[in-house]
Amino acid sequence: MSPSKSDRIAFQGELGAYSHEACRTARPDMTPVPCPSFEDAIAAVKSGKADLAMLPVENSTYGRVADIHSLLPQSGLHIVDEAFVRVHINLMGLPGTQISDIKSAKSHTVLLGQCKDFLAQHAIRRITGADTAGSAKEVAAAQDPTMGALASELAAEIYGLDVLARHIEDQGNNTTRFLIMSPHANHNRRGDHGMITSFVFEVRNIPAALYKAMGGFATNGVNMTKLESYMVGGSFTATQFYADIQGHPDDPGVRRAMDELDYFTNMIEVLGVYPADAGRD
């Protein structure tokens, strides 16, 4: 029997991608649904092919995931949880190969850049692939013992490759934050580690508007953990901001801060109210 939609979680990438690993870690009881793009993962939830979507938003080494913040307000979905996944990068090759056999390694350009020291030490040439799991899949299909891939251990398991070296990333704290998206909002929960409220807003065209809009959070003791700007529609003047704050909209301090923000903005859209993940600690 095929799984029902409530058993399925969509992600961008091939099976074995780090987003797949995040699905298995945060929602081990759900069946992962690979999608070609972030838009396809969102569409899978909106069409009912999946109940949730797992979307990466930022990496501690690489920074913001391109385009994702501009997609969130348009998605029609709500953030219901977050997950922090430690990104361990591994060198893998065909069964029976050794590190000394590997002359080139394929992966997403971001992962190649995060393993420069290891690759240089072993004189392994970097080859840019479309993504991590896809690179592992291609190496398995090519049957070239001199070619390796950089990906998750899950990818090696899925595509029948041997892990030749584990945790080869240059930075020892490489972590990706994911947002779990649903068509249904639930603002009634309270988390053991506090709550996060995520929203986007556009300030009014008045002097020092952003400074004034942020003042309410400072005076009410609300911690803003993220504030990022991005352009809308290619315009240099239509700038929107994405923000994460600690707290729930029903908390008195948050309510007062949001009321003050509203006075200095043209638009505020709450994207989600959800429990803070223990990985924030």
Residue 101 carries which DSSP code? G
pLDDT tens profile 217-236? 999 999 999 998 877 766 66
Residue 154 belongs to what domain range? 90-165
226 located within any domain: yes
Q: Are residues 178 and 50 in the same domain?
A: yes
Angstrom distance (rounded) from CA 243 to CA 234: 20
Residue 3's pLDDT is 46
189 located within any domain: no
Confidence check: pLDDT of 186 > 90: no
Residue 128's pLDDT is 96
Is 178 among the residues known to form the active site?
A: yes
Q: Are residues 178 and 39 in the same domain?
A: yes
Number of domains in the chain: 3
Q: Per the residue annotation, which of 178, 199, 201, 217 is the catalytic one?
A: 178
3-state secondary structure of 103: coil
Of 138, 155, 182, the last residue of a domain is: 182
What number is the average pLDDT over the span 93-113? 95
187 located within any domain: no
Of 148, 182, 216, the last residue of a domain is: 182
Angstrom distance (rounded) from CA 155 to CA 111: 14
Residue 59's pLDDT is 86
Q: Which two tokens stand for residue 215?
A: 């003042």
Can you give the CATH number for the domain in which 130 is found?
A: 3.40.190.10
187 falls in which pLDDT band (50, 70, 90)?
confident
Question: Average per-residue pLDDT in the chain?
Answer: 91
Cα 252 from chain centre: 30
Q: Which two tokens stand for residue 104?
A: 């080139």
31 located within any domain: yes
Q: What are phi and psi of 133, to 5 degrees?
A: -65, -35
Confidence check: pLDDT of 1 > 50: no
Q: Are residues 116 and 68 in the same domain?
A: no
Can you give the CATH number for the domain in which 254 is found?
A: 3.30.70.260
Q: What are phi and psi of 176, to 5 degrees?
A: -115, 135
Q: Are residues 20 and 80 in the same domain?
A: yes
Q: Are residues 77 and 113 in the same domain?
A: no
Say if residues 19 and 11 touch (Cβ distance below 8 Å). Answer: yes
Q: Are residues 75 and 178 in the same domain?
A: yes
Is 176 among the residues known to form the active site?
A: yes
Q: Are residues 73 and 110 in the same domain?
A: no
Q: Are residues 203 and 227 in the same domain?
A: yes
Q: Give me the half-sphere count of Cα atoms (radius 13 Å) on the Cβ side of residue 243.
A: 23
Q: Are residues 72 and 42 in the same domain?
A: yes
Q: Per the residue annotation, which of 176, 197, 201, 264 is the catalytic one?
A: 176
Angstrom distance (rounded) from CA 84 to CA 175: 7
pLDDT tens profile 23-76? 999 999 999 999 999 999 999 999 999 999 999 999 887 777 877 877 888 899
Q: Are residues 214 and 150 in the same domain?
A: no
Q: Are residues 263 and 241 in the same domain?
A: yes
218 located within any domain: yes
- Supply the angle between the helices 209-219 and 252-263 in degrees, to the nearest 10: 170
Confidence check: pLDDT of 277 > 70: yes
Find the DSSP H helices in the chain.
18-26, 38-46, 68-71, 109-113, 116-121, 132-142, 153-159, 209-219, 252-263
Q: How many residues are given for the chain?
A: 281
Residue 237's pLDDT is 60
Cα 98 from chain centre: 32
Residue 236's pLDDT is 60
Longest dimension (CA), the chain: 66
Q: 């069946």: which residue's tokens?
A: 31
Residue 207's pLDDT is 84
Residue 234's pLDDT is 61
What number is the average pLDDT over the span 261-271? 93
pLDDT tens profile 144-169? 999 999 999 999 999 999 999 999 99
Q: Are residues 72 and 178 in the same domain?
A: yes
